[in-house]
A and B are shown apart, each in its own frame.
Chain A
Amino acid sequence: MKRRDLFRSIGQRSLRQQSPFELELQVEGGIEEHTDPLTLDDVLHLYRRLSYGVSMPEAQKHVGKTARQVVNELLGPKDPPAPQRDVNFVKWRDPVSGQMVDYTENPEGADLQAAFAIRSWWGTNYKRMSAWHTFEALRDPLSVERLASFWSGHWTTEFAFDDQYTQPHTLYNQYMMLRKDRLGNFRDMALDVTLDHAMLFYLGGWLNDAGRPNENYARELLELYTTGIGWYTEGDVEQAARVLTGWKVARFNDQPAPKGIYKTWFDARRHDTGAKEFMGVTIAARTADNNTEFQVRNEEVRELVNIIFRARPDAVSRFIAGKVYMHFVFSSPGEIDKQFVADLAKKFRDADFELRDLFLNLFISKHFFDPALRGAQIKTPIEYVVGLLKALRFNDTEVAPIDGAAWTGLMDQALFDPPNVAGWPGYRSWISTNTYPRRRDFARKMIDLLTDERAMQLIQEMPEHEDAAKFVSGIVRYMLPVAVSETRLTYYKNTLLEGQPDYTWGEKLKQPASAARSLRALLKAIAVAPDFQLC
Chain B
Amino acid sequence: MKRRSFLATTAAAAVGTQVLGGIPLKAFTPMNMPVPMQPDDDRVLIVVQLFGGNDGLNTIIPVDDPNYYAIRPTIAVPKEKAISVLSRVYMHPALAPKDQYGFPQMFEDGRLAVIQDIGYENPNLSHFRSTDIWLSGFNSSDPDVRLLDGWLGRYWSNHIPGFPEFLPPDPIAVQIGGSLSMVLQSPKGDIGIALTDPKSFFELGQGLSPDMTPMSDETRYGREFNFVRTVAEQCDRYSSVVKNSFDKGKNVATYTDGGFVQQMKLVARLISGGLKSKIFLVYMGGFDTHVQQQDEYQNGLHPYLLGQLASGIGSFMQDALAQGFADRVVGMTVSEFGRTPFENGSRGTDHGAASAQFVFGNGVRAGVYGQSPDLTNFDGNGDVRYQWDYRRVYADVLENWFGGTPQETEDVLQDRVLPLGVLQRATSVDDAYEGRVEVNIRVSPYPSAEHVSVEWYQPVNAVTTVDVFGTDGRHVKTLLTDRLAPGTHSVAATGLQSGSYLCAVMINGRRSVAPLTVIR
* A binding-site residues for B, Cβ under 8 Å: 3-4, 7-8, 10-15, 17-21, 23, 25-26, 212, 223, 228-230, 234, 330, 332, 372-378, 412, 420, 422, 425, 428-438, 440-441, 481-482, 487-488, 490-491, 494-495, 498-499, 525, 528-531, 533-534
Contacts and interface: CB of A to CB of B under 8 A. Distances in A.
B414 interface: yes
B238 A534 contact: no
B154 interface: yes
B21 A533 contact: no
B221 interface: yes
B220 interface: yes
A375 B210 contact: no
Contacts of B190: 428, 432
A7 B122 CA distance: 10
The CB with the most chain B CB atoms within 10 A, among A7, A332, A490, is that of: A7
B164 to A, nearest CB: 12
Contacts of B415: 14
B102 to A, nearest CB: 27
B224 A378 contact: yes
Contact of B148 (A17, A25, A228, A332): A332
Given A229-B129, A428-B227, A432-B180, 19 more contacts: A8-B145, A11-B142, A23-B217, A373-B220, A375-B224, A376-B223, A420-B128, A425-B179, A429-B179, A433-B193, A433-B195, A434-B177, A437-B205, A437-B208, A438-B204, A490-B23, A495-B20, A530-B210, A530-B229
A330 B138 contact: no
B126 interface: yes
B142 A18 contact: no
Contacts of B219: 25-26, 372, 376
21 contacts: A7-B142, A8-B144, A10-B139, A11-B140, A11-B144, A15-B145, A18-B148, A18-B149, A18-B154, A20-B148, A20-B223, A234-B381, A332-B148, A378-B228, A437-B201, A437-B204, A437-B235, A487-B28, A498-B21, A528-B232, A534-B225
A382 to B, nearest CB: 16
A115 B23 CA distance: 61
B243 to A, nearest CB: 13
B441 interface: no
Contacts of B225: 375, 530-531, 534
A499 B234 CA distance: 30
The CB with the most chain A CB atoms within 10 A, among B129, B193, B220, is that of: B220
Nearest to A429: B179
Contact of A482 (B141, B210, B221): B221
A530 B28 contact: no
A411 to B, nearest CB: 10
A13 B140 CA distance: 11
Nearest to B142: A7
Given A425-B179, A437-B201, A534 B414 contact: no
B20 A525 contact: yes
A436 B129 contact: no
B194 interface: yes
B143 interface: yes
Instruction: Report the contact-size class of chain B (Cβ under 8 Å from the partner).
Output: 35 or more
B345 interface: yes
A19 B148 contact: yes
The CB with the most chain A CB atoms within 10 A, among B208, B232, B235, is that of: B232
A15 B414 contact: yes
B217 to A, nearest CB: 8
B495 interface: no
Given A20-B187, A436-B235, A495-B21, A528 B210 contact: yes
Nearest to B350: A215
B443 to A, nearest CB: 30
B66 interface: no
B148 A436 contact: no
Contacts of A488: 212
A491 B24 CA distance: 10
A375 B219 CA distance: 10
A490 to B, nearest CB: 7
Nearest to B219: A372
Interface string B23-35: 1010010000000
Given A528-B210, A530-B210, A15 B227 contact: no
B185 interface: yes
B224 to A, nearest CB: 6
A8 B141 CA distance: 9
A422 B178 CA distance: 16
Given A428-B185, A530-B228, A534-B228, A230 B143 contact: yes
Q: Which 4 A-B pairs have the closest CB atoms?
A: A11-B145, A437-B204, A376-B220, A494-B21
Contacts of B205: 433, 437
A436 B227 CA distance: 12
A438 B195 CA distance: 12
A434 B221 contact: no
Contact of A432 (B138, B149, B231): B231
Contacts of B20: 491, 495, 525
Given A434-B194, A494-B21, A530-B229, A14 B140 contact: yes
A19 B414 CA distance: 13
A531 B196 CA distance: 25
B127 interface: yes
A105 to B, nearest CB: 24
Contact of B414 (A13, A433, A438, A528): A13
B324 interface: no
B98 interface: no
A433 B228 contact: no
Nearest to B230: A530
Contacts of A431: 227-228, 231
Interface in B146-192: 146-149, 154, 177-180, 185, 187-188, 190
Contacts of B139: 10
B145 A23 contact: no
Interface in B314-366: 345
Given A433-B195, A525-B20, A374 B221 contact: yes
Contacts of B147: 15
Contacts of A481: 221
B430 interface: no
Given A26-B219, A212-B345, A223 B235 contact: no
A330 B210 contact: no
Contact of B23 (A428, A438, A487, A498): A487
Interface string B232-270: 101100110000000000000000000000000000000
A491 B21 contact: yes
Contacts of B196: 434
Nearest to B184: A432
Interface in B269-308: none
B482 interface: no
Nearest to B206: A437
B140 A533 contact: no
A332 B126 CA distance: 22
Contacts of A428: 185, 190, 227
Contacts of B235: 433, 436-437
A375 B180 CA distance: 22
B218 interface: yes
Given A15-B145, A422-B128, A434-B178, A491 B25 contact: yes
A330 B194 CA distance: 25
Contacts of B217: 23
B231 A18 contact: no
A26 B221 CA distance: 12
A7 B414 contact: no
B22 interface: yes
Contacts of A26: 219
A481 B148 CA distance: 25
Nearest to B177: A434
A529 B231 contact: no
Contacts of B22: 494, 499
Nearest to B238: A433
Contacts of A530: 210, 212, 225-226, 228-229, 232
